[in-house]
Amino acid sequence: MTRCWIGAVAVMWMCLASVGLAVLWHYDNAPGEPAHAPGSWPSHSHLSRAADAPTLVMLAHPQCSCSRASLGELEELLARTNVHPKTYVVFLKPAAFGDGWEQTDLWRTAKRLRDVSVVRDDDGVEAQAFGAATSGQTLLYDQNGRLQFSGGITGSRAHQGDNAGRQSLLALLNGGRNARTGTNVYGCPLFASGS
């Protein structure tokens, strides 16, 4: 009797664990809201575009732990490109928070990246200019200001590793063909729903 009871509990346990892992898996693989990036470099952006090189912009929420993987992938990407783009990492700074709120470890990590400009985006002006809604949204504009790529550079939420976004950007920057122009982006919403 006890044996049957234990067996039943064990089966239930296995099911619960499997379901839990499946839910977690689903969460990790659930993409954020895609960006509605403008096809050309937004004129009202405060960021300056490079005229002789592509410009790469990553918009991130400074408190989003998932974006740590995006920064890691960005570092990987920059290390492997033949053409070095002008790169910005733009961290959201809502007006509701005081100064320094954005100075997180993500900020410091981004600051350590070579040839990367870390920019504070007060109240999400730049994010809205680039139509980004999810932290980790990465945009690539060519030297002519045309949008080449818009998407995430992680395979799932907070997971580093080989992914379609990074591969596409590498291909675009290195002159490759058959590159995708967009991928899912995984991260925290940059703006609260309804805002």
Alpha-carbon distance of 107 to 103, in angstroms, equals 6
Interacting residue with other proteins among 31, 38, 94, 145 (CB under 8 A): 94
Q: For other proteins, how many residues bind (rule: CB under 8 A)?
A: 47
Task: Name the residue nearer to other proteins (CB basis): 87 or 160.
Answer: 160
What's phi and psi for 86, nearest 5 deg? -75, 125
Alpha-carbon distance of 90 to 144, in angstroms, equals 21
Task: Name the residue nearer to other proteins (CB basis): 54 or 187.
Answer: 187
Q: CB of 44: closest distance to other proteins in angstroms?
A: 21
Task: Name the residue nearer to other proteins (CB basis): 9 or 83.
Answer: 9
Q: CB of 84: closest distance to other proteins in angstroms?
A: 23
Question: How many residues are there in the chain?
Answer: 195
155 near other proteins, judged by CB under 8 A: yes
Q: Among 96, 105, 97, which residue's Cα sits nearest to residue 60?
A: 105
What's phi and psi for 139, nearest 5 deg? -125, 140
Q: CB of 190: closest distance to other proteins in angstroms?
A: 6
Residues that bind other proteins (CB under 8 A): 3, 6-7, 9-10, 13-14, 16-17, 20-21, 23-25, 27-29, 61, 63-66, 68-69, 92, 94, 96-97, 124, 135, 155-156, 158-164, 167, 188-193, 195
